[in-house]
Chains A and B, each alone.
Chain A
Amino acid sequence: SAVISQKPSRDICQRGTSLTIQCQVDSQVTMMFWYRQQPGQSLTLIATANQGSEATYESGFVIDKFPISRPNLTFSTLTVSNMSPEDSSIYLCSVESLTRGNTEAFFGQGTRLTVV
């Protein structure tokens, strides 16, 4: 299993500013995933972050808008840059782990971002 701590848990930001979200895992993991969940919607994968290489972004997400750092095997950050109200969402960090023979995804509590 894996325990994930995300900070901040919530924030209200002015448009045009940037917010960096931190994700700390209690064990070393190869890949970390960043998701966005808009109000009332499902989760959408933003990018996959591997330690020592550039993050891989999904269609519709670009590095300039969502730069990601992965300095070591237990930590990652996601920055939401030049924010607009459309970026208001919950951002979730996730890792996968082989647990009891299953490949499970573990999630942080999420960061609830409101852009005003």
Chain B
Amino acid sequence: LAKTTQPISMDSYEGQEVNITCSHNNIATNDYITWYQQFPSQGPRFIIQGYKTKVTNEVASLFIPADRKSSTLSLPRVSLSDTAVYYCLVGGNYGQNFVFGPGTRLSVLP
């Protein structure tokens, strides 16, 4: 399974757009890119998944360049409640276990 690298922590202010970039240089052809959010004392929660180009849902956008060696999670207009750890995972095929990297601890300040 491809290893991922992402910033350990980030700070932002309410109302700003936050972009978290993840590197996955040895991503395989059949790998998807998935992002999860984890609040303290809770299990991780699915945010978004994509294979290439751009994916958008009601929560976030995911940008994936043509070479797929990186991806960027974009959170529009963050609020204090978006303070959490964000994990980038590569793989995501059904039946394949999920390998979590260290994640990015996002702190949203008032």
Residues of A within 8 A of B (CB): 4, 30-31, 33, 35, 41-45, 48, 92, 94, 96, 98-99, 102-110, 112
Given contacts A31-B95, A94-B98, contact A104 B49 (CB under 8 A): yes
Residues of B within 8 A of A (CB): 32, 34, 36, 41-46, 49, 87, 92-95, 97-103
Given contacts A102-B49, A103-B92, contact A43 B97 (CB under 8 A): no
User: Which residue of chain A lies nearest to B91 when distances are taken between CB atoms in the complex?
Assistant: A103
Interface of A is mostly: strand
Find out whether the CB atom of B42 lies under 8 angstroms from the CB atom of A42: no
Contacts of A106 in B (CB 8 A): 43, 46
Contacts of B95 in A (CB 8 A): 30-31, 96
Contacts of B92 in A (CB 8 A): 102-103
Closest Cβ–Cβ distance, residue B7 to chain A (whole Å): 14
Given contacts A103-B32, A103-B92, contact A42 B102 (CB under 8 A): yes
Contacts of A33 in B (CB 8 A): 97-98
User: Which residue of chain A lies nearest to B44 when distances are taken between CB atoms in the complex?
Assistant: A107
Across the A-B interface, give the 8 residue pairs with the lowest CB-CB distance, nearest first.
Answer: A107-B43, A43-B100, A102-B49, A104-B46, A42-B100, A103-B94, A103-B92, A105-B98
| A45, A104, A110: the one within 8 Å of B97 (CB) | A45
Given contacts A42-B100, A42-B102, A43-B100, contact A105 B93 (CB under 8 A): no
